[in-house]
Amino acid sequence: MTLVQLEYLLAVDTYRHFATAAENCFVTQPTLSMQLQKLEEELGVQLFDRSRVPVRPTELGKEIIAQARVVLAEAKKIQEIVQNQKQELAGELRIGVIPTLAPYLIPLFITGFMQKYPQVQVTVQELLTHQIVEKLNHELLDVGLLVTPLEDKSIKELPLFYEAFVAYINASHPLAKRKTIDPDKLSLEDLWVLNEGHCFRSQVLNICNRGGKAMAAHSGHFDYKSGSLETLRRIVETQHGLTLLPELSVLDMPADKRKLVRPFQEPQPLREVSLVVHRSFLKKKLIEALQQEIIESVPEEIRNRKKEQVVAIR
């Protein structure tokens, strides 16, 4: 049994296709298949059900794959020991970030981080929460930037800051006359929300005490389903109603748009923004450096805010 064989084993489990797994391991399919066959012969068990499309691990194969992940993670720590001794931060850092954070948070820290650590190759993917967790579990990402708590035992959460929700209200709406917003005054008939699958949608509906069940606002023949907060913002400006936005998204708004922003009454509803990693995560020094850079990049008011009324994401 070799580490290379275990890497091929995990690749097939990740991609559920021998040709794709071979391509991502930079070997030919016959080479990968032969090595996996040798591993199965040595263990005396079948690891994959090849009669199914896509291929699936057998029940025993699932247990062996889980242990293979542990073995490979421990082996990679040897490289980390050497890098830590050299006191250098280098290599690839693969980050997954949710769409309601990416356009507002990434620009705050990414330039400073890359200037401080020029030997680090940063790759960023914009993904939904469940996709980030899945890729962390399959070692296709090193770290995620998302909203917590997830209550997932496979994931370790590193809270960064607490961001307030704000209301963005069309100037003709009755609530636009108020200085602060009471969540009990929000009507789902006037509220524009994101599509299903976004944790931000669930939080918005929880703020409204609706338990996550609602359709987007619509008027007459106009019904718009969106995965973009910026699109919802423009609809509020040009049509009617209101939407909720994260605090970071309104920091750089021009003065005329800021007039449409209203904070919530105290205690303000908050979302907990965190770095998340797999329980057996690697690249600890890199992730610690990323954590520090993000915290230093957010405005002091947000950075120093205490954990109070955090809105559930389910």
Of all residues in the chain, what percent carry a pLDDT higher than 90? 60
Tell me whether the CATH fold assigned to 90-161+272-303 matches the one assigned to 162-263.
yes
Question: Under DSSP, is residue 91 helix (H, G, I), strand (E, B) or coil?
Answer: strand
Rounded alpha-carbon distances, angstroms, from residue 158 to 127, 258, 290, 295: 19, 31, 11, 11
Give the H/E segment covering residue 138: none
pLDDT at 255 over 70: yes
Least confident of 3-7, 68-72, 296-300: 68-72
State whether CATH 3.40.50.720 applies to domain 162-263: no
Pick one of 1.10.10.10, 3.90.1150.10, 3.40.50.410, 3.40.190.10 as the CATH number of 90-161+272-303.
3.40.190.10
Q: What is the mean pLDDT of residues 266-287?
A: 88
State the pLDDT at residue 84.
65
The residue whose two tokens read 């059900």 is 49
Please name the residue that has the structure tokens 């954070």: 101
Please, how many CA atoms are within 13 Å of residue 208, restricted to the half-sphere of its CB? 24
Token pair listed for 172: 């003709």
From residue 61, how far is each of 42, 45, 47, 49 by CA, in Å? Answer: 14, 8, 4, 9
Q: pLDDT per residue over 12-51, tens digit each?
A: 998 999 999 999 999 999 999 999 999 999 999 999 998 8
Residue-wise pLDDT tens digits, 74-106:
887 787 777 666 667 788 899 999 999 999 999
Give the chain's mean pLDDT. 88
Measured in residues, the chain has a length of 314
Percent of the chain residues topping a pLDDT of 70: 93
Write out the CATH class of domain 3-84: mainly alpha
Residue 52 φ/ψ, nearest 5 degrees = -105, 150
180-215 pLDDT tens trace:
999 888 888 888 888 877 888 888 888 887 444 444
The full set of domain ranges for the chain reads 3-84, 90-161+272-303, 162-263
Cα Rg of the chain, angstroms = 23
- The answer on pLDDT for 263 being more than 50 is yes
Read off the pLDDT of each residue in 223-244 and give the average, rounded to a whole number.
85
Looking at per-residue pLDDT, the higher value among 298 and 84 belongs to 298
The letter for the amino acid at 78 is: I
Contact yes or no for 61/46 (Cβ under 8 A): yes
Query: pLDDT per residue over 134-174, tens digit each?
Result: 999 888 899 999 999 998 888 999 999 999 999 999 999 99
Cβ distance 286 to 91 under 8 Å?
Answer: yes
* 264-291: average pLDDT: 89
**Looking at residue 216, what is its pLDDT?**
46
Instruction: Evaluate if residue 111 carries a pLDDT over 90.
Output: yes
Q: Which two structure tokens, joined as six digits, stand for 1?
A: 């049994």
